[in-house]
Amino acid sequence: MIFKDAFERYKAGEATPEEVAMIESELEKNQLISEFLEEELDQSYASNAEPSVELNLVKKAIRRRSLNIVLISVMIMAVLALLIPFAVKPLINDQYYNPMTMKYDEFAYDIDFSLIAYTELHQAGYYYANSMIENTEIGKYSLTLSRYNFFKGEQEYLTASLDKNKLTLPYSFEASNLSMNIFDRAAAPSYSLPTDSKEWYLQKIKELPDYINVTAAVSFSRDLTMEELVDLKKTSRTLFVWAGIRNAPEDEQLYPLCGMELTGSGYIYEGINKKYPCFELATLSKSNGDTKSTDYETHFFSLLNYSLDHTKFLEMLPSDRDWPRYYQSVLDYVSAQGVKTYGVMVQGSPSDILALQESGIVSQIWPMDANIGF
Q: Is 189 a domain residue?
A: no
Burial of 272 (0-12, 13-18, 19+ CB in 10 A): buried
Task: Report the pLDDT value the prediction gives residue 26, as an integer from 0 to 100.
Answer: 78
Q: Is 222 a domain residue?
A: yes
Residues in Cβ contact with 282 at an 8 Å cutoff, skipping those fewer than 6 apart: 264, 265, 266, 268
Q: Tens-digit pLDDT profile for the chain (374 aa)?
A: 577 777 777 777 777 877 777 777 777 777 777 676 667 655 655 555 455 566 566 566 666 666 667 677 666 666 656 655 555 555 555 689 999 999 999 889 999 999 999 999 999 999 999 999 999 999 999 999 999 999 888 999 999 999 989 999 999 998 999 988 899 999 888 888 899 999 999 999 999 999 999 999 999 999 999 999 999 999 999 999 999 999 999 998 888 999 999 998 777 888 899 999 999 987 664 444 568 999 999 999 999 999 999 999 999 998 889 999 999 999 999 999 999 999 999 999 999 999 998 889 999 999 999 988 66
Q: Is 260 a domain residue?
A: yes
Q: Is 10 a domain residue?
A: yes
Same structural domain for residues 232 and 348?
A: yes
Helical residues (DSSP H) of the chain, grouped into ranges: 3-11, 17-44, 53-83, 89-93, 110-122, 171-174, 195-207, 226-235, 272-275, 293-309, 311-316, 323-337, 350-355
Q: Out of 93, 123, 141, pick the residue that ends a domain.
A: 93
HSE-CB of 100 using CA atoms within 13 angstroms: 16
What letter does residue 358 receive in the DSSP assignment? G
- The span from the CA of 166 to the CA of 163, in Å, is 5
Task: Report the pLDDT value the prediction gives residue 288, as an integer from 0 to 100.
Answer: 44
In one-letter notation, the amino acid at residue 218 is V
Burial of 18 (0-12, 13-18, 19+ CB in 10 A): exposed
Same structural domain for residues 266 and 352?
A: yes
Same structural domain for residues 347 and 260?
A: yes
What letter does residue 192 receive in the DSSP assignment? P
Cβ atoms 318, 169 nearer than 8 A: yes
Q: Out of 27, 58, 93, pick the residue that ends a domain.
A: 93
Pairing state of beta strands 140-149 and 154-163? antiparallel
Task: Report the pLDDT value the prediction gives residue 152, as an integer from 0 to 100.
Answer: 87
Task: Report the pLDDT value the prediction gives residue 47, as an integer from 0 to 100.
Answer: 52
Is this structure's pTM higher than 0.85? no
Q: Is 98 a domain residue?
A: no
Same structural domain for residues 143 and 280?
A: no
Task: Report the pLDDT value the prediction gives residue 137, as an integer from 0 to 100.
Answer: 93
Closest C-alpha to 201, from 192, 298, 55, 312: 192
Residues in Cβ contact with 85 at an 8 Å cutoff, skipping those fewer than 6 apart: none
Q: Is 180 a domain residue?
A: no
First to last CA, the chain: 80
Q: Is 183 a domain residue?
A: no
Burial of 283 (0-12, 13-18, 19+ CB in 10 A): middle
Same structural domain for residues 14 and 83?
A: yes
Residues spanned by the domain of 132: 110-174
Same structural domain for residues 293 and 343?
A: yes
Q: Is 18 a domain residue?
A: yes
Angle, nearest 10°, between helix axes 17-44 and 3-11?
Answer: 100
The length of the chain is 374
Same structural domain for residues 239 and 315?
A: yes
Same structural domain for residues 316 and 220?
A: yes
In one-letter notation, the amino acid at residue 197 is S
Neighbours of 55 (CB within 10 A): 15
- The span from the CA of 51 to the CA of 60, in Å, is 13
Phi and psi torsions of 328, nearest 5°:
-65, -40
Same structural domain for residues 122 and 260?
A: no
Phi and psi torsions of 340, nearest 5°:
-130, 155
Q: Return contacts of 224-228, CB within 8 angstroms, 24+ apart.
A: 224/340, 224/341, 224/361, 225/293, 225/338, 225/339, 225/340, 226/293, 226/294, 226/296, 226/297, 226/339, 226/340, 226/341, 227/293
Same structural domain for residues 166 and 221?
A: no
- Our count of domains for the chain comes to 3
In one-letter notation, the amino acid at residue 333 is Y
Secondary structure in 3-state letters for 20-55 = HHHHHHHHHHHHHHHHHHHHHHHHHCCCCCCCCHHH
- The span from the CA of 52 to the CA of 34, in Å, is 19
3-state secondary structure of 162: strand
Phi and psi torsions of 156, nearest 5°:
-120, 145
Same structural domain for residues 120 and 8?
A: no
Same structural domain for residues 355 and 222?
A: yes
Q: Out of 58, 93, 128, pick the residue that ends a domain.
A: 93
